[in-house]
Structure 1
Amino acid sequence: MKITAAVARQAHQDFSIEQVELDEPKDHEVLVRIEGVGLCHTDLVARDRLIPIPLPAVLGHEGAGVVEKIGKAVTKVAVGDHVLMSFNSCGECPRCKEHLPPYCTQFPQLNYVGARPDGSSTLKQNDQAVSGYFFGQSSFASHALANERNIVKVAQDLPIEILGPLGCGLQTGAGGVMRSLACPQGSTIAIFGGGPVGLAAVMGAVIQQCATIILVEPMASRRELALELGAHHVIDPAQGNITEHIRNILPQGVDFAFESSGRGEVVEAALASLGSHGLLGLVGVPPSVETTLNVNLVSLITFGHRIHGIIEGDSDLDTFLPELIQHYQAGKFPFDKLIKKYALSEINQAIQDQAQGRCIKAVLIPEHAHH
């Protein structure tokens, strides 16, 4: 079928709105009419070739919408259901069997290749293949094909157009604190970076009832929002040594640190702020593939520090996403405060606004969804 999509044609260049041809759903696939899709840093990382998906490509991996068609083997959803989409996983490997699909051994092949695992293309333009199937969806478009494994059915009375970011950025931040680090009640945490992931981590820390929640973030507006969301302290990294600031608040250091910027020097400051047996969770995408870390082995071994690379907040979609939605309905996960809506055709403006801090989380609304 003919669909409208935002196409990435060249690294570091604007997306263009174009018509492309979307394949019919195969056995376990679901055709979703997109009502809203989050704009995530990972989409730009893919456009700019840090994730080597071939261009031209339709990216987008925080989609939500309405099921329009299902493959003949699909049992999880029916036509007309409201769904949110997330990452794809195989369901068969040891990690998937442990309910840890973000660590699926097939993760790169199922999410970053630009085609189905069998090599067939989901998107074409004038008989030329266009990379699709990004995170098993490619939802910067009016419609997307997903698998039943990477969609979750949601209640129809929820604001479907803003739910998409739960499928990546928000579950990464909240799940990072609630599941990967599993911060116990009364523990202390420093969160580095106050974008959507860092602010979702703040909300997750509030849900976990952490006793001290510190956010390190350069933008004043984001520090203010963090306090509103329940952070106890905010630190502007421009105001001197971050680690000293944290140790002024907690002389013993923090039990947990959560790093969402991906910058080496910030990761090192996070490590230095840990207390004894402290655990550092890393979710930030580094600026380049060559980014390395200077770790002082003596302090690591002396204090028993631990470092945990986190993917998608350890979320197993079918239980964790409904849990986050329940918290949202109860007023305990007010992620809607982070969101600003744009038309899909305004994607380049949204990218600029997000980069300059004019909005925290952009959600793109395809034209057909403007009610």
Structure 2
Amino acid sequence: MSTTEYTDITAAVTREKGSDFVLEQAKIRAPKADEVLVKVVATGMCHTDMIVRDQDYPVPLPLVLGHEGAGIVEKVGPLVKDIAVGDHVVLSYGYCSKCSSCHSGHEAYCKEFYPRNFGGSDMEGNNAIQDADGNPLNDHFFAQSSFATYALSLESNTIKVSKDAPIELLGPLGCGIQTGAGAVINSLKVRPGTSFVTFGAGAVGLSAVLAAQVAGATTIIAVDVVPSRLELAKELGATHVINSKEEDVVEKVRDITGGGALFALESTGIPDVLRQGIDSLGTLGTIGVVGAPALGTDAGFDINDLLLGGKSIQGIVEGDSTTKIFIPQLVELYLQGRFAFDKLVKYYDFEDINQAAKDSAEGTTLKPIIRIADQV
């Protein structure tokens, strides 16, 4: 007879490809070993949640998604050392802590990244969540599955943050916001006085604009097709904006920068936009690629343009962030008024999660945050 302790939860469950989220009563087991049980206050909604819901990335269903959780620690496993009950935390991606990538400070390129974040279970194939009938639900999405009132994470991907910051705001730092900001600061290493262009002015692209300003770039260009996003980009620090429906993007970027940008970021996942980005680079320019299309998507470029221009194309996961260092740094920048990512978000109640998904897909909301529980 099982003696496992469970906590009753409400979870948003995805049962079929492309279907609406359904709020269901479920239960989650108590933390073991180095696990942490977190009462989720709010969770950001990310493009990756949508592409998994739609099975562009194949993760087993039925599934509890959510990977930008923020909340308050409820219980800890016996091997947890540095996280305590009552701590305010942000949940980020899972990694093994043992492979060469993890040991070199590049946990986002962990050799077990895919199974730990997209496997639908823990590394032993077990689930922590059961539905009302006692059937297992696929979970451990990004080592958290935070579209629920409680989430089970690991100490390694549970990041303690200052209680001075509003916990309901901080969840997107765990993925989307740190991806854009980290791409600029950690991966591309944008330098003072340089030029930077973001292709896509969604939450990731505009986080990159904020970070480019922090990094000291003096020419910051945002490219998009939505006028309201371009206006917000200017408010957040873009020195120039380009509506790609109305202007030749490559020609305009080259004109603004005097020959091409030194740094660029592609966050749309559209191959033709990536090609524009590569063509917009100047000599020795680098473009980071964070936009995630369906698996197997191909893109093209002019090989001689790449070769003769000394250009670089860099794939970037999670902003190449060491989360326990970078996320608190972003929180501190926010508290200092230097990283206003709160201007990107809109809040939704848990029962309105499908409206949040719709608004996100239509582009009317840059970064939905789902309020799940009151802060206590």
TM-score normalised by structure 1 residue count? 0.98
1:149 is aligned to: 156
Distance in 2, Cα, partners of 1:156 & 1:272 = 45
Counterpart residue identity of residue 98, structure 2: E
The match for 2:125 among 116, 119, 122 is: 119
Distance in 2, Cα, partners of 1:3 & 1:88 = 22
| Alpha carbons 2:70, 2:90 under 8 Å: kept | yes
Distance in 1, Cα, partners of 2:330 & 2:8 = 34
| 1:321-360 to 2 correspondences below 5 Å | 321-360=327-366
SS of the residue 2:105 aligns to: coil
* Post-superposition offset of 1:289: 2.2
1:59 is aligned to: 65
* Post-superposition offset of 1:345: 1.2
The match for 1:212 among 204, 212, 219 is: 219
The match for 1:103 among 85, 99, 109 is: 109
1:75 aligns to 2:42 (yes or no) = no
| Alpha carbons 1:46, 1:53 under 8 Å: kept | yes
The match for 2:45 among 39, 48, 53 is: 39
Distance in 2, Cα, partners of 1:161 & 1:255 = 36
Query: RMSD in angstroms over aligned alpha carbons?
Result: 1.1
Distance in 2, Cα, partners of 1:84 & 1:240 = 40
1:252 is aligned to: 259
* Post-superposition offset of 1:155: 1.6
The match for 1:233 among 227, 240, 245 is: 240
1:303 is aligned to: 309
| Alpha carbons 1:254, 1:274 under 8 Å: kept | yes
SS of the residue 2:94 aligns to: coil
Deviations 1:261-297 (Å, cap 9, x if unpaired)? 01000000000000011101000012x3232111211
Counterpart residue identity of residue 77, structure 1: I
Distance in 2, Cα, partners of 1:69 & 1:208 = 38
Distance in 1, Cα, partners of 2:298 & 2:61 = 27
Distance in 1, Cα, partners of 2:43 & 2:111 = 26
Distance in 1, Cα, partners of 2:161 & 2:276 = 40
Distance in 2, Cα, partners of 1:50 & 1:227 = 33
1:129 aligns to 2:136 (yes or no) = yes
1:268 is aligned to: 275
2:93 is aligned to: 87
How many matched pairs? 369
* Post-superposition offset of 1:246: 1.0
* Post-superposition offset of 1:370: 7.3
Distance in 2, Cα, partners of 1:62 & 1:370 = 17
2:210 is aligned to: 203
- Deviation above 4 Å: which 4+ runs of structure 1? none
| Alpha carbons 2:191, 2:216 under 8 Å: kept | yes
| Alpha carbons 1:6, 1:345 under 8 Å: kept | no
Deviations 1:166-206 (Å, cap 9, x if unpaired)? 01000000000011000111110110001100000000000
Identity of aligned residues (%): 44
* Post-superposition offset of 1:353: 1.4
1:291 is aligned to: 297
What are structure 2's unaligned runs of at least 5 residues? 1-6
1:369 aligns to 2:359 (yes or no) = no
1:314 aligns to 2:339 (yes or no) = no
Counterpart residue identity of residue 122, structure 1: A
Distance in 1, Cα, partners of 2:253 & 2:353 = 37
Deviations 1:200-237 (Å, cap 9, x if unpaired)? 00000000010100000111111111100000000001
